[in-house]
Structure 1
Amino acid sequence: MLQLLKEFLNDVGIGEKPASRFSDGDYRLAAAALLIHVMSIDGQETGAERDKLHELLQRQFDLDDEAAAELIAAATAADREAVDLYSFTSLINRSLDEQGRRRIVKMLWEMVYADGRMNEFEDNIVWRASDLLGISQRDRVELKREVAQLAKSRDDA
């Protein structure tokens, strides 16, 4: 009976919350928050974008469905509370080498092209995040072309 009461209080947000497997210092949380920021910047989150987000996180971070959903929930909250991109990018910079940071930028481009098109707001966010991650303009553009070509070939098929 006591356990049922405890679960009820947790469900309504009064009791203790179970510990998240993604702490504030986890670069995966920062990367997911950047992806969510890109996904929501145009004000139109599509099913294709949500599916792409889930798939990217599972593939890149080797997560199961439950862990990916938990990461998305935590990252959505982190993105809502953030005032800028720096808190996310500085954590990623401390956690990953250049190759890892390039992988994050590629994920951002994959998120941009998930709905088949790119707008200037999405392009600007990736440009700013890439700059903060220390990724050169040349590498950013190269990654953009690579992802855009894959997206185009997928659309043509």
Structure 2
Amino acid sequence: MLGSLKVLFDTVRSGGAAEASRSDGVQEAVAALLVKAAQLDGAFGADERRAIEVLLASRFGCAPDEAGQKVDGAIKDLESSVDFYGFTRVIRDEFDHDQRVELMEMLWEVAYADGVLHDYEASLMRRVTGLIYVTDQESGAARKRVMQKLGLAE
């Protein structure tokens, strides 16, 4: 509760800068998780990068070049990060349940951007599902929606 009051006072005092900073943190966390999913199979290709940029532009209403900058920033963040748990904590704290399910759908879309699900990508999905408090059933349903959207057979 005290944390919420501090955020409220910071937002009022800074004219919304705290809210913008929190929004930037969420966007960075989402971008980092999407890039992590794309990198796990050892080949971060143009198809995966394009899928991430489209997803970021669509989700956050930004221009394609800004989405590209977010991807570049996420790559740098992941290079200097030992794990991705900090990113999932941001998502868990800032997204409501439906938004977290939507993120799982975005992650599945990146994992299937090259048409194949690698074992490491599947492992990441299972870990992220638990870390952001999405059920296996909800993640599975998100996966099926993505496969149908991309025209992939189950």
Code of the residue aligned with 1:36 in structure 2: it is V
Q: CA deviation at 1:22?
A: 7.1
- Normalising by structure 2, we get a TM-score of 0.80
Residue 151 of structure 2 is matched in structure 1 by 152
Aligned counterparts of 2:116 and 2:63: Cα–Cα separation in 1: 28
Code of the residue aligned with 1:108 in structure 2: it is L
Residue 135 of structure 1 is matched in structure 2 by 134
8 Å CA contact retained: 2:54, 2:64: no
The structure number with the bigger radius of gyration is 1
Question: RMSD of the alignment, in Å?
Answer: 2.0
Q: CA deviation at 1:66?
A: 2.5
Note the residue ranges of structure 2 that are not aligned, 5 or more in a row.
1-19
Number of matched residues?
A: 134
1:102-141 to structure 2, matched below 5 A, reads: 102-141=101-140
8 Å CA contact retained: 2:31, 2:71: yes
Code of the residue aligned with 2:113 in structure 1: it is A
Structure 1 segments (4+ residues) deviating >3 Å:
21-25
Q: CA deviation at 1:33?
A: 0.3
Aligned counterparts of 1:46 and 1:26: Cα–Cα separation in 2: 25
Task: Say whether 1:57 aligns with 2:35.
Answer: no
Note the residue ranges of structure 1 that are not aligned, 5 or more in a row.
1-20
Q: CA deviation at 1:24?
A: 9.5
1:47-86 to structure 2, matched below 5 A, reads: 47-86=46-85
8 Å CA contact retained: 1:39, 1:49: yes
Residue 13 of structure 1 is matched in structure 2 by none
- Normalising by structure 1, we get a TM-score of 0.79
Aligned counterparts of 1:25 and 1:114: Cα–Cα separation in 2: 25
Residue 46 of structure 1 is matched in structure 2 by 45
Residue 33 of structure 1 is matched in structure 2 by 32
Aligned counterparts of 2:21 and 2:116: Cα–Cα separation in 1: 31
Aligned counterparts of 2:61 and 2:81: Cα–Cα separation in 1: 26
SS of match in other structure, 1:26? helix
Aligned counterparts of 1:100 and 1:133: Cα–Cα separation in 2: 10
